Structures are given as structure tokens and as C-alpha cells.
Amino acid sequence: MINHYTSPVKILFFTVCLFGLLVFWYWADANDYFQRSYRDLTETEQVPFKYNTPEGGEDLMNRFRKHFFDSDFFFPRQKVAKVKLFKNIPMLGVFTGKTLKQNMIEEFLKFCNDTVNFDWGETTWGLEESEYYLRLYNADNNVIGKIYLCLEDCHMTDARPFCPAMKFGMLSLTGYATITTLIHNNDNWE
């Protein structure tokens, strides 16, 4: 005879396993675990950009300025085939993606590498405060760059891989206007 009674232990086990899978999926997505191919800086390349590193008495902003136009540090240091915008909503953001039109990718990359769009400013905000994030993909569909955008409350960005032209991540008034227009203009998206 078949017992149709499901024990509370089985229900608890199933619930814990499902919760564990969801947590892993969220962590893997947030870290681009299965698709990442970033070209981050080596330890040696990072030295001039560390706050407490003495570099001949120069201050940190001057060390950043030295590399503004150095193509080795341009964002994202790889050829971009696709850019996708997502709302930064835990677990659900991955379903909100929209793709930037091909003819807009070069303009977006110019925005990221133009120092006029960024300013020096406080960087004490968390990625969870951002409304959006953008993922940049190469031709193999690997994530090669990612930018979090906190537009409404703090006008800040956080990018990976690091780019000196983005300064400390604060958007200038010009940069804020440019990126806001890019995001909210539906003609820029497929």
C-alpha cells in the first residue's frame, strides 16, 4: 500500500535544499561565476592605485591622472561584443536584462573612459544601493566588465575591472546626465 503522508522531515529537507540552491544561484549570478573572464590588474599593476602606497611623494589623485590615457588601463581591457543593463534587484534582477544596441556600444565605452564623466568624491556606498548594473560581454559571451550604478541617491559607480579614468567612481554632472539619458532612452536598447 502507498503511503501518501509526507513527513515534516522530508518537507524540511526539501525546503533547506531549495533555499540552498537559491542562495547559490544568487551568489553565482552576483559574482558572474560561470561566465566571468575579467582582465583585472596584477598585484604589481595595482600598486600605484593603492591609498597607502608611497610613490615618490605623489598624492593618489596624481597617480590616477598619470594613467588616464594609458590604453593598458582602458575599460574593460577587452573587445566588447554586447552590453546588457539589469535592475539591481536581488534574485530577480537577472530577468530584467535589456541589451544595448550595437551602434551604441562604442559611445558607452567612450563614456566609461572619459574622465570628464567622473569626479573625485566619497566612495562610501554599498553595491546593494545601486539601482542598475551593466555587464559587458565578449564574443564568447563571457562577462568581461561590470559597472554598478547608484544614480538617484549617490551618483556613484563601481566598475570591474578597475579603470583610473573613472577616478574614485563619482559621476560628474555631465556623466550623470549622460548615463541617465543612455539608460532611460528606449531607442538605445534592443
Would residue 29 count as lying in a domain? no
Would you say residue 71 has pLDDT above 70?
yes
Q: Where are the alpha helices (DSSP H) in 31-101?
A: 43-46, 60-65
| Nearest residue to 146 (alpha-carbon basis) of 187, 93, 72, 103 | 93
Rounded to whole angstroms, what are the CA distances from 142 to 8, 36, 113? 42, 5, 21
pLDDT at 3 over 60: no
pLDDT at 57 over 90: no
The CATH code of the domain that includes 182 is 3.30.1490
pLDDT tens track for 79-93:
999 999 999 988 788
Q: Which helix (H) or strand (E) holds 26?
A: helix 8-30
How many other CB atoms are found less than 10 A from the CB of residue 184?
A: 10
Owning domain of residue 60:
38-188
pLDDT tens digit string along 110-158? 999 999 999 998 767 888 899 999 999 999 999 999 999 999 888 999 9
Q: For residue 19, what pLDDT is reported?
A: 82
Window from 69-73, 98-102, 130-134 with minimum mean pLDDT? 69-73
Residue 56 lies in a domain: yes
The answer, yes or no, to whether residue 1 has pLDDT greater than 60, is: no
**Residue 98 resides in a domain:** yes
Q: Per the domain annotation, does 6 fall within a domain?
A: no
Kindly state whether residue 15 falls inside one of the protein's structural domains.
no
